[in-house]
């Protein structure tokens, strides 16, 4: 379910790294928790981000959720399609509904992120706590 080549944050973002470029989005767990996504607010290309810095919001009918950068770097591309079809975040959160692409400034930061198995265990734990 969770792509094995992605890395994951506790705030439910994912990052897929190819060379020194990362593609960032929110996970299926996050989109499901939020419900129908109606609006996505993203930075402009060129924005410089620190690891864990909030860089935008994903809004559902009922809630506003901030999105945090998994790593430090510079935004190179922003997913323009989400301005007109934000609901893609619900239907394809790990694929076509990527949020930003960025150039990593400190690739070693990736070591502190969860892999797919760790993330799955993390959300299993969250869901168990929720229904306790």
Partner 1 sequence: MSTPATAQLRKTALNAVHRRMGAKMVNFGGWDMPVEYSGIIAEHLAVRTAAGLFDVSHMGEIEIRGPQALDLVQKVTCNNAAKLDSGQAQYSGLMTEMGTFVDDLLVHKFYDKHYFLCVNASNQDRDFEYLRAHNTFDAEVENSGHRYTQLAVQGPKAATLLQGFTQVPLDTVRYYHFSSGLVNGVDCYIARTGYTGEDGFELYFEPEHSEKMWTELLETGRGEGLLPCGLGARNTLRLEAALCLYGHEIDETTTAWEAGLGWICKLDKGDFLGREALLQQKAEGLQRVLVGFEMVDKMIARDGCPVIAGGREVGQVTSGSPAPFLKKNIGMAYVPVGLNEPGTEIRIGIRGREAAARVVKLPFYKRPK
**Contact set with partner 1 (CB under 8 A):** 32-33, 35-36, 38-39, 41, 57, 59-62, 64, 126-127, 130-132
* Rounded least distance, CB 33 to partner 1, Å: 4
Q: Which residue, 11 or 59, is less far from partner 1 as judged by CB?
A: 59
CA–CA dist 53, 6 (Å, integer)? 19
* Rounded least distance, CB 11 to partner 1, Å: 14
Q: Which residue, 21 or 57, is less far from partner 1 as judged by CB?
A: 57
Determine the longest span between alpha carbons in the chain, in angstroms.
44
* Rounded least distance, CB 105 to partner 1, Å: 27
* Rounded least distance, CB 60 to partner 1, Å: 8
Q: Which residue, 112 or 127, is less far from partner 1 as judged by CB?
A: 127
Give the burial class of 99: count Cβ atoms within 10 A of its Cβ; 0-12 exposed, 13-18 middle, 19 or more buried.
Answer: buried
| Helix, strand or coil, per DSSP, at residue 6 | strand
CA–CA dist 21, 79 (Å, integer)? 15
**Residue 23 in contact with residue 96, Cβ under 8 Å?**
no
Q: Which residue, 41 or 50, is less far from partner 1 as judged by CB?
A: 41
């Amino acid at each position: 379910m969770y792509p094995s080549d992605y890395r994951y944050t506790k705030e439910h973002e994912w990052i897929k790294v190819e060379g020194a470029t990362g593609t960032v989005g929110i996970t299926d767990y996050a989109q499901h928790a939020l419900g129908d996504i109606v609006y996505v607010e993203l930075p402009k290309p060129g924005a410089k981000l620190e690891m864990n810095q909030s860089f935008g919001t994903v809004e559902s009918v009922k809630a506003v959720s901030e999105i945090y950068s998994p790593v430090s770097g510079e935004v190179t591309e922003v997913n323009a399609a989400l301005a007109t079809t934000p609901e893609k975040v619900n239907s394809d959160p790990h694929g076509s509904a990527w949020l930003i692409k960025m150039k990593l400034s400190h690739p070693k930061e990736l070591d502190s992120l969860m892999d797919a198995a760790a993330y799955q265990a993390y959300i299993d734990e969250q869901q168990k706590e929720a229904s306790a």
